[in-house]
Amino acid sequence: MRRTLVFIAPSFPHPVSEFLAENGYAVVEAESAEEAARLSTIYDVDAVIVDGGGDYPGLAELRQRRMTVNLTIHATGPEVFFELSHLFPSTSERLQ
């Protein structure tokens, strides 16, 4: 089963979102919490990934409605992939 993520970051392309997309996740990109909330109603989103390098007004409200994963500013694609594999253990994505 392919998991769908909304990835919030101040700008794109983002190396972590690209890594996740290259390794089996469907990644929808958003530059604000408001945009992420809107996209979450359009797509069947499994989680919202929040980049640690930005300030996102409205994020507290989004966290009440969606599962969120907050990244540190130095998070790498493989680290996030590893964490998501624990969050979604039935997902059979393999690291490429």
pLDDT tens for each residue of 76-87: 999 999 999 999
Q: HSE of 55 in the Cβ direction (CA atoms, 13 Å)?
A: 0
Q: Per the structure, how many domains does the chain have? A: 1
What CATH number is associated with residue 43? 3.40.50.2300
pLDDT tens profile 8-61: 999 999 999 999 999 999 999 999 999 999 999 999 999 999 999 888 999 999
> At 89, is the pLDDT very low, low, confident or very high (cuts 50, 70, 90)?
confident
Residue 95 lies in a domain: no
**Under a CB-based contact definition with an 8 Å cutoff, are residues 37 and 58 in contact?**
yes
pLDDT at position 95 over 80? no
pTM of the model: 0.89
Residue 92 lies in a domain: no
Question: What is d(CA 94, CA 64) in angstroms, rounded to the nearest whole number?
Answer: 30
Residue 29 lies in a domain: yes
Structural domain range at position 38: 4-87
Which residues are bridge partners to 68 per DSSP? 48
Q: Which of 72, 70, 80 lies closest to 17 in space, CA to CA? A: 80
